[in-house]
Amino acid sequence: MAIDITIPAIGESVATVFISRWIAQPGEYVAAGEGVVELDSDKASMEVPAPEGGVVLEHLVEEGDEVEIGAVVARLDTSADKPAGDAAEGEDTAAEAPAEAKKASAPAKPAPAAPKASKGPAKAGPAARAAASEKGVDVSSVSGTGKGGRVTAADVAAHGSSVRPAEIPTERVTRVKMSPLRRTIARRLVEAQQTAAMLTTFNEVDMTNAMALRKRWQDRFVDQHGIKLGYMSIFTKAVVDALKRFPSVNAEIGDNEILFKHYYNIGIAVSGPKGLVVPVVRDADHLGFAETEKAISELAGKARDNKLTPDDFSDGTFTITNGGIFGSMMSTPILNPPQVGILGMHNIVERAVVVDGEIKVRPMMYLALSYDHRIIDGREAVSFLVRVKQCVEDPERMLIEA
C-alpha cells in the first residue's frame, strides 16, 4: 500500500518550510521512525520520520524547495519487504566491538581495515553541512565518525584544521547560496522592522555587585547545583521583575487588541551552527537561579548540537540577547515578533565613573531595550530599563521586592 509523507506542523506562525536534504532516496527501504527528509524553518531544523517501514517510491519536491505545512512531499510503499541483504542494526557496529568480544564470537569474515566509501553524497546532518558551507569544505571529502559513517560538525572542524588553506581565488567574488534557514531569518528580520514602530533606549549598569555575588557564592553554588552561576540568570530574574511592573513590555498586539500575558517565557538568543536562534525558558518567574542556569545551559547545548525542536521556540513573551560574549560594546537589537520588547546585553568594560563625587574604576555594561512604540510609551520603556539596572546593581532587591 502506498502512503503519503507529509510536512508536519512545526510550530506557531510557521506556514512553510524548506526541503533541506533527502535522507532516503527513491528505491531505498526505510524502517518506521527513520528519517526520510530534513527540513529547515526559521524555528529549527528537523527530520520527518517514516510513519511505517517501506520503500520510497518517489520524491514530489526537490531539495531547496519551499513547501507549505501539510504538503505531500513523498510516497512510501509500505507493502514492500525489507531487502534481505540489509544488515541488522547490531551488525553495523560489529567491527567496533572489543577484541575480547570478537574472540568469543563465532568465526566471521575479517573486517576491512577501513570502512568502504559510501555511494553517492556523504551522509551529513544540518549542523555538519552548515559548518562545511561556512568553511568552504566539500562534505564528500570528510571522513564521518558518526553512526553509520555520518559526518558530524566536529568532523568538518577537524577536517578543516588538517587541510591547508585553499589557494588564492582567481575570481574577485565568490558566490555562496544562502541556506534556507538563513533566507527565512533574513525575511523575518526585515518584516520585524517594517511591521513594528521599533525604537531603542539605552542605559548602563555597574556590574560590581553582581560580580561580587558570583565570586562570593560560586564555589558553594557549583557544589550544590553542579552548574556555575552566570550573569544570564541574574539578568533573566531582573527582566521578570521588571516585566511584572511594566506589563505592556510583556504584551502582544492582536487584531485591534493588546494581549497582556500573565506568564513569563523568556527567549534567550544563542548562537547555533546555522545562525542565531531564540529558544525559550518557560515560566521563568517560577525558577530559581540554579534552575534558570540549567534551563539556559540545556537549550544552548541543544542549539550547538542542532537538536532544538519547535516546542523549544514557541510562546516566548520577551527576549534577551547577549552580544557581549562576542565583544559587542553597544547595539540596537531587533524585535522577535510577535514580542514587543528585547533586551540587549553587552561587553563588560572597566571605565572611569563618578561615584559619590569621586572618580572610580568600575566594571560597566551598556544595556539596550528595543521596543514596539505602538503599545509601549517612552516613559514605560525607560522605567523598565531602569528597573533592570536597579536589580542587577543590587540583586537583593529581587529578594525583598524593593
Query: Catalytic residue numbers?
Result: 373, 377
Bond before 121 cis per omega within 30 degrees: no
Q: How far is CA 35 from CA 6, 53, 69, in A?
A: 13, 11, 17
Q: Distance (Å, rounded) from C-alpha 139 to C-alpha 159?
A: 10
Query: ∠ CA 121-126-131 to the nearest 5 degrees?
Result: 90
Cell numbers standing for residue 194: 517594517
Cell numbers standing for residue 394: 543590587
Q: Distance (Å, rounded) from C-alpha 43 to C-alpha 310?
A: 6
Q: Distance (Å, rounded) from C-alpha 93 to C-alpha 337?
A: 46
Query: ∠ CA 328-201-182 to the nearest 5 degrees?
Result: 50
Sequence-distant (≥ 6) Cβ neighbours of residue 330 within 8 angstroms:
202, 346, 366, 368
Sequence-distant (≥ 6) Cβ neighbours of residue 187 within 8 angstroms:
42
Q: Distance (Å, rounded) from C-alpha 68 to C-alpha 66?
A: 7
Answer whether 329's CB lies under 8 Å from 366's CB: yes
DSSP assignments along 180-193, one per residue: HHHHHHHHHHHHHH
Sequence-distant (≥ 6) Cβ neighbours of residue 20 within 8 angstroms:
37, 38, 39, 40, 45, 63, 126, 129, 180
Answer whether 340's CB lies under 8 Å from 251's CB: yes
Residue 387's nearest CA partner among 200, 199, 205, 198 is: 205
